[in-house]
Chains A and B, each alone.
Chain A
């Protein structure tokens, strides 16, 4: 499932941010690049696509499942700004993002 959130409009045409990045790196098979995406903006905002459910959510920790793994985010003053079936938008002080 693709999310509209990462579709940006620039100079009159629509492009997919993640597709643009992936297209720059041709050495990797793109079939393996559609599991999940995580964007950390300045340690203040974390955007996640492709999560498969929250496992922990507190004011200092967020953990969620991804395909073949789990992600743990540590920090402070977390607020889950937006949560959908597929995406997470978190803000707060992000100290660490670990993928297991």
Chain B
């Protein structure tokens, strides 16, 4: 590959004499006598012109001269105008496109903010030509447009416009998007210690669940509203209540423990198979569930099971006085479920009222707790 030689084909008589004469001045390689008056051989590429003259002087006809080797390939490539033109075009194209910015990269922000910044830069750059992009001006424009940016640097690296941002981190207290403190309980406010925000309640006020206690803003000395994170300790007497109703006479349906199961197999809506005894219960309640037997829609078999529970109706006569303590205790337990762990009970009481055939026990527990935030 790296032997740069010319292969010469010659025709003529008395080639031995010519070869002898040539070999006196240069080296001859790979001489082959193909026919009596036809042969080919190689010489070093640099001797090509010289040997052509010498062969003609010797009276030999040069049929062809071909080149091989790395140097000759390079030389040939550069002599082919198409390749040469292609190389020139590629170089020109590269130089031309290198003058433009093709990509905008934004670092240091989230994807949403990134797309906003890119859209803004695209709208505000008149040209993609590097020379027409003023990075200093762009820095100021982007910084002024977006509040969340604390510092910015814009640079053109290669064919990318790199925008490096640092987001401004506001203290939580100065965040404008805060929620008010809302009461989760019913009760009466006994003490308020406001840290920041604007109060909506006063001591002694009765509040209900859902009422706003502290608004998430303050009014500054200029009369402007400024958002803040509301913080306050608000102690309130919180009331929990529960109601339990007791009927002296009532009718209850009780399961006897007898049950029957019926199984049916359907194909679509068509009953295919049924299994189970006939129902001989007087009163009963049922539970039904279905289960597909196949996983395809071609043959949609499914099983339907129905369970019949026998029930009997019982008359219950139970005077309130006999179960009074139990009913009150049940009403109390219903409240205790909602109390926080270790919550101190200030007071508890109940009232009993009687209506037509039934008694109502209303139980109230009062606790003291911080309902602020």
Show the binding face of A for B, using Cβ within 8 Å: 53-59, 78-85
Contact = CB atoms under 8 A, between A and B. Distances in A.
Closest 10 CB pairs of A and B: A80-B31, A83-B28, A53-B20, A85-B24, A83-B23, A54-B16, A58-B33, A84-B27, A85-B23, A54-B20
B15 interface: yes
A93 to B, nearest CB: 15
Which secondary structure characterizes the binding site on chain A? Answer: strand
Interface of B: 15-16, 19-20, 23-25, 27-34, 36, 41
A83 B16 contact: no
B30 A81 contact: yes
Contacts of B36: 58
30 contacts: A53-B16, A53-B20, A54-B19, A56-B16, A57-B19, A57-B31, A57-B33, A59-B32, A59-B33, A59-B34, A78-B33, A79-B30, A79-B31, A79-B32, A80-B28, A80-B31, A80-B32, A80-B41, A81-B29, A81-B30, A82-B27, A82-B28, A82-B29, A83-B19, A83-B29, A83-B31, A84-B23, A84-B27, A84-B28, A85-B24
Contacts of A58: 33, 36
Contacts of B24: 85
B94 to A, nearest CB: 46
A42 B162 CA distance: 72
B16 A57 contact: yes
Contacts of A81: 29-30
Nearest to A85: B24
